[in-house]
Amino acid sequence: MTPNHTVLIAGGGASGALVATHLLKRSPGTRVIVVEPALSVGRGMAYSTTCPEHLLNVAAGRMSAFEDDPRHFSRWLAARGYTEFTERSFVPRMIYGAYLEWIINEAREDAEFGRFTHLRVRAAGFHERGGRVALELADGRSIEGDRLVLAMGNAAPAPWGGLTPEAAQSGRYFASAWTPGATAPSDPDERVLLIGTGLTAVDAVLALRYNRHRGPIVMVSRRGLLPKVHRLFDCATLPCEPAASVAELLRHMRASAAEANVLHGNWRVAIDGVREQTNDLWESLPLGEQRRFLRHLRAYWDVHRHRMAPEIGAKVKALQDSGALKVRAGRVGQIVRRGEGLSVEATLRGGGASTRIEVGRVINCTGAEGRLSQLPNPLIQSMLRAGAMVEHPLRTGVLVTSDGALISRDGSRSARMYAMGPLRIGTLIESVAMPEIRRQACEVAESVGAPSRSRLGSTRHHREGAVLASTVRR
């Protein structure tokens, strides 16, 4: 079949790769163009790491790229001779990246010649003309398609407010843990300060040690909370009643955790037991309560929900026990250049007045910036200006319908443009991990594929568009 329907995908990480895979396999009348500056499609930010110490934070048995084939990843591992891993193993992320790359490469090899194109460039601008969507590319070219999928994933952390220009230019401040060279200091003994204590900061610690750094590491975040550690168990479903307020939800979850402790000796059952239900619970909360959750509870939720693999937990504990790693609660303030290093103002909890920490480098591990208006992504800024995209009222992510269609400034549902993965945070609370990404990829592919296979135009979506129009105006 000659493809006469073109889908543009901006971003070629796990999200973009899986939408492309479904389209190539199931929508023969569709041509797919992935716009992704990286050399290959599939790995994205999370799975491009070359550090073997960086493990998945979910066991292999739950990491299939296909919801309807839960053992797909396990079979792929076995077929490639990775016999050391079982369904319960936490596999290096670089191997998972190879898996995603293999999936998209297999799909493109099986598809007719010319149905898949990877343009190694950044999308820099957007416009709609004549019922079609056009992307302007950073190299000056422009491409057109019938549908657009935004799969631009995780943004870098927000710029650090207290950074002086001299410190910024010192080569000793790193705006994210993924900035080249951030975790490979030339002086192995230098003291390193990590702003943030979440999984990204843990990644930075592991990469530093892998790169033979042996100096002291200090992690600082407002609450000083490290992610909890996984304990392997077979997850039981533990349904949680929908709640009208965060306080009520917290009461339910606490009761559930207490029950899980009694029945299973493990509070994790309560968190994982509501995994499938989490987005429904989120959507049942009024906007004001969602805002309250983000402000007061999210940090606590995150450390219980996004946990470290047991072997990583053991390494972090050993570093803490030896005194090489210190995890502190407090506020980091101004960062100035001092001599060969940086001097960081910090007000540490329990430490009284503000103090200065002298370090060789600072790595910003505060997590992805969610506020669209602050992102240096030219495609997002262009779409915001055009009114084709609006920020979610929670000021994180894009406002979308429940099936991911963009809601424009005038409140209407786009028939042509969809967002995936981390961009949907706000509308959803779970939209970053693989279970959501693989499901969304399948659904979005169905929506944007050649019209004969598409579900577009269903009355359900139109009704939902009208309801969401009121959300935009809020």
Ligand X SMILES: Cc1cc2nc3c(=O)[nH]c(=O)nc-3n(C[C@H](O)[C@H](O)[C@H](O)COP(=O)(O)OP(=O)(O)OC[C@H]3O[C@@H](n4cnc5c(N)ncnc54)[C@H](O)[C@@H]3O)c2cc1C
Q: Tell me how many degrees the CA angle 401-402-403 measures, rounded to the nearest 5.
A: 90
Of 36-44, 76-84, 181-189, 261-269, the segment contacting ligand X by CB under 6 A is 36-44
Of 11-19, 76-84, 166-174, 317-325, the segment contacting ligand X by CB under 6 A is 11-19
Where residue 11 falls (left for φ over 0; alpha for ψ -120 to 50; beta otherwise) is: left
Phi, psi of 330 (to 5 degrees): 165, -175
> CB-wise, 422 or 465, nearer to ligand X?
422
In angstroms, the CA 420 to CA 13 distance is 11
DSSP 297: I
Quick check: 3 binds ligand X (CB under 6 A)?
no
Q: Do residues 367 and 221 make contact, with C-beta atoms less than 8 angstroms apart?
A: no
Q: What is the DSSP string of 18-40?
A: HHHHHHHHH-TTEEEEEE--SSS
Q: Give the list of residues 6+ apart from residue 414 with CB closer than 8 angstroms, or none.
A: 388, 405, 406, 407, 408
In angstroms, the CA 323 to CA 345 distance is 21
Q: Give the list of residues 6+ apart from residue 265 with CB closer than 8 angstroms, or none.
A: none
In angstroms, the CA 434 to CA 70 distance is 12
Quick check: 10 binds ligand X (CB under 6 A)?
yes
Shortest distance (Å) from residue 87 CB to ligand X? 14
Q: What share of the chain is helix, strand, coil (3-state, %, to 5)?
A: 35, 20, 40
Interface residue with ligand X, options 24, 32, 107, 152 (CB under 6 A): 152
Quick check: 434 binds ligand X (CB under 6 A)?
yes
> CB-wise, 29 or 378, nearer to ligand X?
378
Q: Do residues 448 and 406 make contact, with C-beta atoms less than 8 angstroms apart?
A: no
> CB-wise, 5 or 93, nearer to ligand X?
93
Interface residue with ligand X, options 6, 8, 12, 383 (CB under 6 A): 12
Which residues ranging from 38 to 67 are in contact with ligand X (CB under 6 A)? Answer: 38, 44-46, 56-58
In angstroms, the CA 185 to CA 239 distance is 47
Quick check: 438 binds ligand X (CB under 6 A)?
no
Shortest distance (Å) from residue 373 CB to ligand X? 16
Size of the site for ligand X (CB under 6 A): 32
| Coil/strand/helix, residue 258 | helix
What are the residue ranges of helices labelled H in 27-119?
72-79, 93-110
Can you list the positions of beta strands (E) in 243-340? 325-338
> CB-wise, 138 or 415, nearer to ligand X?
138
Binding mask 385-424 for ligand X (x = CB under 6 A): ------------------------------------xx--
Which residues ranging from 113 to 132 are in contact with ligand X (CB under 6 A)? Answer: 122-123
Interface residue with ligand X, options 15, 21, 27, 176 (CB under 6 A): 15
In angstroms, the CA 372 to CA 391 distance is 6
Binding mask 280-319 for ligand X (x = CB under 6 A): ----------------------------------------
Which residues ranging from 183 to 242 are in contact with ligand X (CB under 6 A)? Answer: 203
Of 20-28, 156-164, 348-356, 430-438, the segment contacting ligand X by CB under 6 A is 430-438
Of 12-20, 185-193, 276-284, 314-322, the segment contacting ligand X by CB under 6 A is 12-20
Interface residue with ligand X, options 20, 294, 379, 390 (CB under 6 A): 379
Residues contributing to the site for ligand X (CB under 6 A): 10-16, 35-38, 44-46, 56-58, 122-123, 151-154, 203, 377, 379, 421-422, 432-434, 437
